[in-house]
Chains A and B, each alone.
Chain A
Amino acid sequence: MIKETSFAIEVAHLTVSYNAKPALLDVNVKIEADQLVGVIGPNGAGKSTFIKAILGFVKPDLGTVKIQGTHVKNAKGRVAYVPQRGAVDWDFPITVREVALMGRFQKIPWYTSPRKKDRDAAMEALDMVRMTDFAHRQIGELSGGQQQRVFMARALAQGSDILLLDEPFAGVDASTERAILEVLERAKRSGKTLVVVHHDLSTAAEYFDKLLLIKQRLYAYGEPYMVLNEDLLSQVYEGKLKIFKDVVKKEEN
């Protein structure tokens, strides 16, 4: 028998609605550990609801989300969240080191200050993403890729086995995209499960081990060559298929 913890995230019959409109409809998926998983789907497909469900923010109409076998409500902090770049106030008076330290907040009792081991853990996480040289910079002074890495460091400092990234590749140039991907792959090698919301179908196959195609309901979950098939994509993306024809072709070669 497979032991329960072999799945990082288990979603069963997940149905979520807003004002009688289903955002997610009967989503069933089991995500294995140590994977780099891309979540794809058109705008308004319920990707952000899916993220919220994994973080335990939404009250589902039906169904359950389990994180490493534990119900999501009792698994606070087991999924480390890396926000979209647009969602962060880059003028906030905070340094790189302090952001990384935030990853430790859950472990620090409310009545004490961060101790040395917390600060060390934060620095160690910054070291993993090669950002120690910037520890005392204000976060707005960094380049797009560096900013993304700082938040990766925060997620790593959290010590969670599962990382959830919301469009980390949005609005960065090609070389930065490479650098971020490298950090993701390093995290994966150290035994993390990464769930990444991604919008660029042309790179999806290359970047991820598994893809999760979603539009209200789950259309496919599996190896990229299975998910990126013309039939499925035409169902999900409807009229916009033309653009993706060569994506599919590239996959077939």
Chain B
Amino acid sequence: MLDLFYAPLTETYFQKALIGGSIIAMVAGVVGSLVVLRRMAFLGDALSHAMIAGVAGGYLFMKLAFGLEAHAPGMLLGSLIAAVTTVALISFVSRISRVKEDTAIGIMYTGIFALGVVAVSIFRHYIHIDLMHFIMGDILGVADIDLWVSAFVGAGVLSVLILFFRHFQLATFDPVMAASIGLPVVLLDYLLTTCVSLVVVSAVSMVGVILVVGLLITPAATAYLLCDRLDKMMALSALFGVTSVVGGLYLCVWLDSAGGGAIMLFCTLQFLVVLFVAPKYGLFFRWMRLRNLVPQQAVEDVLTTVLRNKKPASVDIIRKYAVQGKNLVKVLKRMTQDGLLTQQNQDYALTDKGYKEAHTVLRAHRLWESYLESIGTPETEVHSIAHRLEHLDQAQTSAYLDKKLGSPKTGPHGKEIPAKIP
């Protein structure tokens, strides 16, 4: 069993994949937090696709100019240029035409991706780029040079983000205020876009074009469900990135599957688990909260039932007139906690606070009955409609009805309308 975990660790390819993947995932998580909060996820997708043109361009240029084969820094630089060009084109198109930004992104990145694909196939005798590798990534075949590149990129991007954390925080949260105190908001935008491009470019060789966005946003979104502070979100997001890589790599070795795919699969599962169990923003706890919520209507029904009973009411009476089912225990418990009811022997009595509220609801009920009668509602329906309407915001409705009806003292059948408690 232990061997299952230990054996892969002795393999060099696994070690490299682990190191390279973790570095990239960590940085991607930190940058990704800002990407998620700024709603830039689609742009990240665009950058990853656009870079194939840059890779091809960089490859071709270094080969023709210096005779270097598959020169990594050259390709990296080419990718960056392609990314920046894409961003510039996107903002150009969305600014000067009526085409909106998301459409502009879609047009530009597919266009540049297509340019790259065409270039790679035309120059296939000069440059040897495996398109499949580019799209799917190859984390198990990480070259040393890729490791170094990712380490430098990671260190650089991380330094920038930590150094200017406050600036990014403010420019993301409230760009207007950021500009008003003189922060260079546009420059920060470009700096962040450059950071995203760098991370994307160095991650593509490992997880591929299609999955790189996942590495950027999924760990960040996972952390987003757990955190109420940006610095914590970034740290947690980095952690989730690393656990995705570790978990995914083991998954890939055990299942003998594609590396990039396994990592993203693990990452997504991780997100889904957190989505369900996160304490504050998770689905499970939200469902629990909803379940524990005691409806105001039930509370008011219990109050009026006890009031009408004129003496402490037993559970049976309350069950008969107010709340049926097993909810009742919960409602009574909550109302006792809130100081609306007190328990006397087996019966429930109103506290002063409870009496006041009950009085308000009863007054609303009687006023509604009078009103309904005055507009000619059939007698058989008066009570049930009033019973529904009595739960509307009483402060507003009672005052209005009272005025409209001329402050009546008694309702239909001579029932007394209780006066307003000041």
A interface vs B, CB < 8 Å?
55-57, 76-77, 79-81, 83, 87-89, 92-95, 98, 102, 105-106, 108, 110-111, 114, 138, 154, 158
User: Quick check: A92 and B37 within 8 Å, CB to CB?
Assistant: yes
Query: Taking each of B172, B174, B227, B232, which has the highest tally of chain A beta carbons within 10 Å of its own beta carbon?
Result: B174
Contacts of A95 in B (CB 8 A): 228-229
Name the residue on A nearest B174 (C-beta). Answer: A83
- Interchain nearest-CB distance for B52 vs A (Å): 33
B230 at the interface (CB under 8 A from A): yes
Within 8 A of A (CB), among B190-242: 224, 227-230, 232-233
A-B contact pairs, 5 of them (CB 8 A): A94-B173, A95-B228, A102-B169, A102-B170, A110-B166
Query: Taking each of A87, A92, A95, A114, which has the highest tally of chain B beta carbons within 10 Å of its own beta carbon?
Result: A92
A to B contact number (C-beta, < 8 Å): 64
User: Quick check: B227 and A57 within 8 Å, CB to CB?
Assistant: no
- Interchain nearest-CB distance for A76 vs B (Å): 4
Within 8 A of A (CB), among B110-138: none
Stretch from B177-185, B271-279, B312-320, B408-416 that touches the partner = B177-185
User: Quick check: B167 and A93 within 8 Å, CB to CB?
Assistant: no
User: Quick check: B176 and A55 within 8 Å, CB to CB?
Assistant: yes
CA distance A138 to B174 in the complex (A): 16
User: Quick check: B182 and A106 within 8 Å, CB to CB?
Assistant: yes
A88-B174, A102-B170, A110-B164 as given contacts; A93 in contact with B180, CB under 8 Å: no
User: Quick check: A81 and B180 within 8 Å, CB to CB?
Assistant: yes
B227 interface neighbour in A87, A93, A111, Cβ under 8 Å = A93
User: Quick check: B182 and A98 within 8 Å, CB to CB?
Assistant: no
Contacts of B176 in A (CB 8 A): 55, 81, 83, 87
B interface vs A, CB < 8 Å?
37, 163-164, 166-167, 169-170, 172-174, 176-177, 179-182, 224, 227-230, 232-233
A77-B181, A87-B176 as given contacts; A94 in contact with B229, CB under 8 Å: yes
Contacts of B228 in A (CB 8 A): 93-95, 138
User: Quick check: A108 and B182 within 8 Å, CB to CB?
Assistant: no
- Interchain nearest-CB distance for A210 vs B (Å): 23
Contacts of A158 in B (CB 8 A): 181
User: Quick check: A93 and B182 within 8 Å, CB to CB?
Assistant: no
Name the residue on B nearest A88 (C-beta). Answer: B174
A106 interface neighbour in B173, B181, B224, B227, Cβ under 8 Å = B181
User: Quick check: A108 and B166 within 8 Å, CB to CB?
Assistant: yes
Contacts of B180 in A (CB 8 A): 55-57, 76-77, 79-81
Contacts of B163 in A (CB 8 A): 110-111
User: Quick check: B174 and A102 within 8 Å, CB to CB?
Assistant: yes
CA distance A109 to B224 in the complex (A): 29
Contacts of B233 in A (CB 8 A): 93
User: Quick check: B173 and A89 within 8 Å, CB to CB?
Assistant: yes
Name the residue on B nearest A101 (C-beta). Answer: B166
CA distance A105 to B168 in the complex (A): 12
User: Quick check: B170 and A94 within 8 Å, CB to CB?
Assistant: no
A89-B173, A94-B173, A102-B174 as given contacts; A76 in contact with B181, CB under 8 Å: yes
Contacts of B224 in A (CB 8 A): 93
- Interchain nearest-CB distance for A51 vs B (Å): 9
CA distance A102 to B173 in the complex (A): 10
CA distance A98 to B182 in the complex (A): 19
CA distance A94 to B234 in the complex (A): 12
User: Quick check: A110 and B167 within 8 Å, CB to CB?
Assistant: yes
Name the residue on B nearest A164 (C-beta). Answer: B180
CA distance A169 to B173 in the complex (A): 21
